[in-house]
Structure 1
Amino acid sequence: MSRTIQVGLIGFGLSGRYFHAPFLSVNPHFKLVKVVERHRNEAEAFDPSIQTVRSHEDLFRDPAIDLVIVGSPNDTHFSYAKAALEAGKHVLIEKPFANTSDQARELLERAQQKGLVAIPYQNRRYDADFRTIRQVLEENQLGDIVEYESHYDRFRPDILDSWKEKEPEGGGNLFNLGPHLIDQAVALFGPPEAVSGDVRVIRKGGILDDYFDVRLFYSDKRVILKSSMLAVDNSLRYVIHGTKGSFIKHGLDIQEETQRKNILPNTPDWGAEPEHQYGTLTTPKGRSTVPSLPGNYHLFYDNLYRAIIGEIPQEVTPEQAYAVIRIIELAAESSKTRKVLEF
């Protein structure tokens, strides 16, 4: 039976304003009713029907709230998500799902005990590039994959005055962009046999890591995940080699950029990439352009709704949510010890 999920959102920064509120506002299965903002009223400016509250406890006490979205700084993810679960709420947690694998396990076990959904917001599974890669692999255009390399680079030489750059608990680039790349790899290939990491500070004055090179070891392939904050040319996204061909893709998904223009995600051709961002497939027979599937974060929320009502399992599985956090831990430890560590 169709029902409307009543949603409470903690935080209305970049995540809440551009990655959650717009999609919830155009999805008939969800209603964003309350937003926690400490001092501002940005949510009400976005939609006057939203009620601003000043405390996350307000969401946990409200019997009408079905789902709590945790979009606050990383050091609060575990405590807020745990409290929401204890209050009988489903939880959607901005990446990272937790700061340690022990925390991740505790949240997942508690959700299972209570029959609730606890899921990380892995929207980058629904980027145009990754959706296209999945199609290319499913159609076996590359044969058996022997090497998969993905990048999420930026050029940001100045250190931001932000907790992401200064807060040791959950800050740094490995926790910020790492979950995206790691989740995509786990979604394609499953957990690895072993992990190595090179996690460093490369900018002058930097406090937390702003560069990582994480390697995932499988019996038949290597997965390379890289991110740097000092990449002037940062257009490269994927290089994939297989026994039948290679696929190379440049350019970042356009959905975030579009949302920042205050365009709601119910417009025609949502997420459609420009042709210059299409990937290139090279085989022994020659080279061809692969049109991108449109990016579509709607698919995440549609799956979340059906998982909450018990119709289908959540697509980002509990096992995958745990694996991502464990790989982050192992990559950081590997970087310190200069050893390859078993998963």
Structure 2
Amino acid sequence: MSSKILNVGLIGFGLSGRYFHAPFLSTNPGFKIKTVVERTKNDAQEFDPEIGNARSIEELLSDEEIDLVFICTPNDTHFPYAMDALENGKHVVIEKPFAATEQEARQLVDLAKEKGLILTAYQNRRWDSDFLTLKKLISDSKLGDVIEYESRYDRYRQVVPTESWKEKSVPVGGNVYNLGPHLIDQALVLFGEPETVTADIRAVRPNSEIDDYFDIRLGYKDKLVILKSSLMVFENQLRYVLHGTKGSFIKGGLDPQEETLRKNILPTEKPWGIEPENRWGKLYTEEFSGTIASEAGDYAQFYQNVYDAIVDGAELAVKPEEIIRTTRVIDLAFQSSKEKKVMTY
């Protein structure tokens, strides 16, 4: 491992910056969180007093010592902030959604390529315990050929008076942009590009200002992929249902890393990413039917890969072409839902 230390700047220090990025960056010796942009607060200094504070994006980007920028701000700012960071010669990691449209995503990817900079999306759910488990089952051919794949990411959130942009009708808002990138990216990692995209996107909660429900279906020659999310599911246990030519796999619960990080536990705590047994999935085949122990989740691999890509020229785990295809599916899903049509990918 190289001894080079990358100076990191975080734009924003809300849930994403504080509970996802800061713990992993601060415990990886290859990174130093140098500066965080907070316009009025000083939350980053409460996490680590040695972190510097910037009151504007311009102040952060003008710092020539900053190598890498994480963009952890409201969705509609991702594209302009990323463009500015790249123009200022910074490597960039963008929170989901990467961009509002495929066209914006391509602009960012083209600029990064032109500048010779690393650009990627924070698709941390590739390192979820449950996803790693079903990925292994598929690669080990425990299910045979997958015929049907359903992935859900549900929550129960009633509409209450709030000033949060996440519940407002704002550009690049709503649940498709919030949880959709996770489910879409995982499906494309497993099965590649689909032939068709069909979607039903709507608001189901009383007084909701945003799309809070989606059913996105990816059509393949040999399988159907169903991606669903609702913010009005009180019992949100179901996570994955896979049916293949050799058997089925059914899994509930969510990877424990987020809830662990929210308790201010750093990822140096061992063991890490271990799911409780009551979240383990069940495999049903002629050879074996029973509980399958989950693989350990580990978001730290994402950060190490970004470091290796910048310092040693390693291949990115979350590649630009993979990011573009996710934004394309989102574009087609909105069009399909609006026009009530099956869209060709």
TM-score by length of 1: 0.98
4+ aligned runs moved over 6 Å, structure 1? none
Match of 1:202 in 2: 204
Match of 2:22 in 1: 21
Match of 1:11 in 2: 12
Q: 2:163, 2:242 → 1: CA distance?
A: 36
Partner SS state of residue 78, structure 1: helix
- Shift of the alpha carbon at 1:101? 0.9
Partner SS state of residue 270, structure 2: coil
Q: 2:231, 2:185 → 1: CA distance?
A: 20
- Shift of the alpha carbon at 1:137? 1.0
**What code does the residue aligned with 1:52 have?**
N
Q: 1:193, 1:306 → 2: CA distance?
A: 34
Instruction: Provide structure 2 residue ranges, at least 5 long, that are not aligned to the other structure.
Output: none
Counterpart of 1:263 (choices 248, 262, 265) is 265
Written as runs of structure 1 = structure 2, the 5 A alignment for 1:160-309 is 160-309=162-311
Instruction: Provide structure 1 residue ranges, at least 5 long, that are not aligned to the other structure.
Output: none
Match of 2:72 in 1: 71
Which string of whole-angstrom CA distances, capped at 9 and with x for unpartnered residues, describes residues 133-171 of structure 1?
111111111111111100000011224531122142111
The count of aligned residue pairs is: 343
Task: Judge conservation of contact 1:36–1:55 (CA < 8 Å) in 2.
Answer: yes
1:90 aligns with 2:62: no
Q: 1:241, 1:310 → 2: CA distance?
A: 40
Task: Judge conservation of contact 1:59–1:68 (CA < 8 Å) in 2.
Answer: no
Match of 1:35 in 2: 36
Which string of whole-angstrom CA distances, capped at 9 and with x for unpartnered residues, describes residues 274-310 of structure 1?
1111110000234121111111000111111111124
Q: 1:152, 1:23 → 2: CA distance?
A: 24
Q: 1:198, 1:154 → 2: CA distance?
A: 18
**What code does the residue aligned with 2:75 have?**
N
Match of 1:127 in 2: 128
1:152 aligns with 2:153: yes
Partner SS state of residue 233, structure 1: coil
- Shift of the alpha carbon at 1:190? 1.1
**What code does the residue aligned with 2:205 have?**
R
Partner SS state of residue 309, structure 1: helix
- Shift of the alpha carbon at 1:317? 1.0
Q: 1:254, 1:274 → 2: CA distance?
A: 8
Which string of whole-angstrom CA distances, capped at 9 and with x for unpartnered residues, describes residues 188-214 of structure 1?
111111100000000111111000000
Partner SS state of residue 250, structure 2: strand
Q: 2:3, 2:219 → 1: CA distance?
A: 43
**What code does the residue aligned with 1:69 have?**
F
Q: 1:305, 1:119 → 2: CA distance?
A: 12
Task: Judge conservation of contact 1:173–1:210 (CA < 8 Å) in 2.
Answer: yes
Which string of whole-angstrom CA distances, capped at 9 and with x for unpartnered residues, describes residues 223-257 of structure 1?
00000011011011000111111111100111110
Q: 2:344, 2:193 → 1: CA distance?
A: 11
> % of aligned pairs identical?
56
Q: 1:170, 1:21 → 2: CA distance?
A: 25
Partner SS state of residue 185, structure 1: helix
TM-score by length of 2: 0.98
Partner SS state of residue 328, structure 2: helix
Task: Judge conservation of contact 1:33–1:50 (CA < 8 Å) in 2.
Answer: yes
